[in-house]
Structure 1
Amino acid sequence: MDAYHLFHYFFNQSNISLSVDCCNHIVKALCDDGHAHVALQLHHHIRGGYDDHALLDYQTYRILTKALYLSGKYDEALDLVKDIFLLKNPDEYDSEFLDQKDFDKAWALCCEEFISSKDGNNNNVGYPTVTKTAVTVSLIEYHFSKGKEDKAMEIYTCLVAETSGKIEDASKRPLLDVLFKYGKETEAWSLVENHHLIEDRPLHIMKQNLTMHELFCCDLRMTKESIERFEKPRQMQDFVTFKFNHAPYSNVIAKCCEDENTLPHAKWILAESLNVCDPSAYKLSTFEEMINAYLKAGRLDDALETANMMVDANLRLVSILMKS
């Protein structure tokens, strides 16, 4: 509950914009701690104060509904289920939830109706994160959990065919998590690699990748195996977020910092990561490592410039969170 009070302070009493990730984490944490009723109040508060109603993701709605159900708050759980899935005959599901005593099975039945219905082909206007793809992923997981691998893979194959492998952003990580959890590494990596081939890339990203590859091969003399080990997490990051994030590059920056001659490459890689607005790209340890390398080489001006970059990056992160 301490985290919830801090959340309330920062996002309700201070001048900071509401964070999507924070909302999801707080709701999940409240449910884990047995405070589903408080999580439901937060859900109502979010929906009542924001026009887009997209501040909770599909998986969070599922966790909240299950927590309500397990805590005996059946009416609240059923009301949420009916809203989320736009059920045609909602009263029929009262007995499904109450008689079966199997939340996951009842949820799977709702998923099947949502997918097969006309509304299942479109987003739920009131719950825009509840999409056909998101619901399908949870149905795949359900069948895997029941040992029905053939059924799960049949649904997965249909999903990939229907979307031409272009999975919506919010469902990418949940889908990969399911595939890896149930031993489908080949399918998971195939999804990532195919996405890398079919997804259109901005010209500056393509140039950036070519320059980076030349840097690895010619200047750092990395082996093919080393480059492949680097590329895999980078492709995974790209698939999940489709944003440049320098986290996979941290080891390369560290290698550049070992030699004064390759320090300019570290500076270039870091500069590329600062060209985007994604706050997760900013990592203090990367700045610190570069500053130490510059000081060791006696390059005080470069060390000072990097220190200023570190301050600017973190001020930028704060400004993104602050309301304009």
Structure 2
Amino acid sequence: MSLIRRVILGRRFCTAVPRRAEDVMSNPDCRPFQLSLRVMYLSSVDNLDTAAKYARLAVFSRIKAEDTEAAEDTEVTCQSIIKSMVWHKRHKEAYDLYDFFFNQHKLKPNRRSCNSILESRIQQGLVDEALDFHRSIKPGMARYYPSEDTFRVLNKGLVNSGRLDQAETLLKGGKAVDRGIYPDHVAFSNLIRGFLDLGNLDKATLVLEDFKKVCSRIDPSSYYPYHPPFHGEFENRVAFLMAAFVEYWFKQGKEMEAMECYNQSLFANKFPVLAYTGDAFLEVLLKYGKKKHAWDLYHGMLTATHKRCFGYSTVKTMVNECFDMGRCSEAVETYNKAKEKKRFVRGSYVITRCCEMGLLSEAESLIAADGFEYIEGTTFKTMMDAYVRPGESMML
């Protein structure tokens, strides 16, 4: 019997199951909030063995039924350690922890814990076992499952394994229409790219048209029940899909067709470019050497008044472009200008890149400006490594 089936069926992986917190460690602190912070920090500095040991204390937290915050903290503890194990490709440990939390000790999983197990199976190319696991989660078994990310993970796994017909069936299952929301543009983009990679432009175009038809039957106000719909949401989702066609034409060596497709996708209807759409085009433009167009698009997103037109990954893409080209001063300047205009921009990744290149004075300045509470543990670890690394130049 495979490992994942034992997870599904709730079989134990080991005979010695801790029944008290003291069986895990002496003097255990099982307070949910403190425990979640400790596990997340240990995971962030890659001390996964210790993080997993602490995470197992979550099953012994005494949570009152009305204490929703404590219950959420326990969920965070479970999902963060499972996700970290999958991120580091320690798949067996991820399954062991899932089994320990949700089968042996009967905690209720949430969508993130389940999606991490799906991602683990997909990473290993075990698509059928991922589908088995997905089908085993009955309604109500896991909180908020399935989610949008569930279908993204499954869809991408099916596409990457060449099972495009199944991926298409998954998208056309009626779930988006039944719930009255827009279909997932990321999942549709994966399918379109799958057909384009096979050279099947006609089929990719048909999938695009199917997406438009589904969206046309949906009332935008039902998608945003708590605030007015954003003007251009539909156009942005369609444009996001068109980024795959722009890249297709670049791959074919047809630069004129690619740029014509790009201009028609973003500028024909004069709609505001949202962050997820702009980010998709920034990656394509930079990849194929259209750097002036990328910077023009970036500055347009940066100066847009609506907060959804610019995001964390937007500035990160352009800052990394500067670093990759060896323009370190420009990278830091790009980040600082973005931060002046958009208060939510945080710079752990900029600090990390500065440390990797020996620019410790710049890293220190960024830390002082951002505040310690916004810096990730891995960033501090990278900075300490840079200080003790012998022979490194600290010159800009």
User: Please, what TM-score do these two structures have when normalized by structure 2?
Assistant: 0.44
Assess if the C-alpha contact under 8 Å between 2:240 and 2:277 holds in 1: yes
The one-letter amino acid paired with 2:368 is: W
Q: Does 1:77 align with 2:184?
A: no
Select 1:55's aligned residue among 132, 136, 149: 149
Over 3 Å counting, the alpha-carbon distance change for 1:151 and 1:66 in structure 2 is same
Q: Does 1:6 align with 2:108?
A: no
Alignment correspondent of 1:111 = 207
Alignment correspondent of 2:242 = 136
Select 1:243's aligned residue among 345, 355, 360: 345
Over 3 Å counting, the alpha-carbon distance change for 1:46 and 1:290 in structure 2 is farther
Alignment correspondent of 1:149 = 255
Distance 1:283 1:137 in 2: 32
Query: Post-superposition shift, 1:44?
Result: 4.9
Over 3 Å counting, the alpha-carbon distance change for 1:20 and 1:171 in structure 2 is farther
Describe the SS at the equivalent of 1:244.
coil
Between the two structures, name the one with larger relative contact order (CA 8 Å, sep ≥ 6): 1
User: Please, what TM-score do these two structures have when normalized by structure 1?
Assistant: 0.51
Deviations 1:172-230 (A, max 9, x none): 543322222222222222222221112457xxxxxxxxxxxxxxxxxxxxxxx864331
The one-letter amino acid paired with 1:66 is: V
Q: Does 1:182 align with 2:288?
A: yes
Over 3 Å counting, the alpha-carbon distance change for 1:76 and 1:176 in structure 2 is same
Query: Post-superposition shift, 1:53?
Result: 1.7
Matches within 5 A, 1:161-200: 161=267, 162=269, 164-168=271-275, 170-199=276-305
Assess if the C-alpha contact under 8 Å between 2:111 and 2:145 holds in 1: no
Select 2:126's aligned residue among 35, 39, 50: 35
Query: Post-superposition shift, 1:78?
Result: 4.0
Q: Does 1:158 align with 2:274?
A: no
Gaps of 5+ in 2: 1-85, 102-106, 178-195, 224-235, 308-326, 389-396
Give aligned-pair identity as a percent.
Answer: 16
Higher helix share: 1
Distance 1:108 1:241 in 2: 39
The one-letter amino acid paired with 1:195 is: M
Distance 1:163 1:269 in 2: 37
Describe the SS at the equivalent of 2:273.
coil
Alignment correspondent of 1:66 = 159
The one-letter amino acid paired with 1:65 is: L
Over 3 Å counting, the alpha-carbon distance change for 1:151 and 1:163 in structure 2 is same
The one-letter amino acid paired with 2:331 is: R
Alignment correspondent of 1:232 = 334
Distance 1:267 1:22 in 2: 35
Describe the SS at the equivalent of 1:117.
helix
Q: Does 1:268 align with 2:371?
A: no
In terms of mean alpha carbon deviation, does 236-245 or 156-165 score higher? Answer: 236-245
Assess if the C-alpha contact under 8 Å between 2:351 and 2:366 holds in 1: no
Distance 1:188 1:13 in 2: 48
Distance 1:55 1:191 in 2: 28
Distance 1:4 1:166 in 2: 39
Query: Post-superposition shift, 1:29?
Result: 6.2
Assess if the C-alpha contact under 8 Å between 1:256 and 1:266 holds in 2: yes
Over 3 Å counting, the alpha-carbon distance change for 1:37 and 1:172 in structure 2 is farther
Over 3 Å counting, the alpha-carbon distance change for 1:194 and 1:9 in structure 2 is farther
Distance 1:17 1:136 in 2: 36
Query: Post-superposition shift, 1:113?
Result: 0.9
Matches within 5 A, 1:95-110: 102=198, 105=201, 108-110=204-206
Assess if the C-alpha contact under 8 Å between 1:31 and 1:39 holds in 2: yes
Q: Does 1:285 align with 2:385?
A: no
Assess if the C-alpha contact under 8 Å between 1:85 and 1:110 holds in 2: no
Distance 2:169 2:134 in 1: 13
Alpha-carbon RMSD across the aligned residues, in angstroms, is 5.2
Assess if the C-alpha contact under 8 Å between 2:111 and 2:147 holds in 1: no
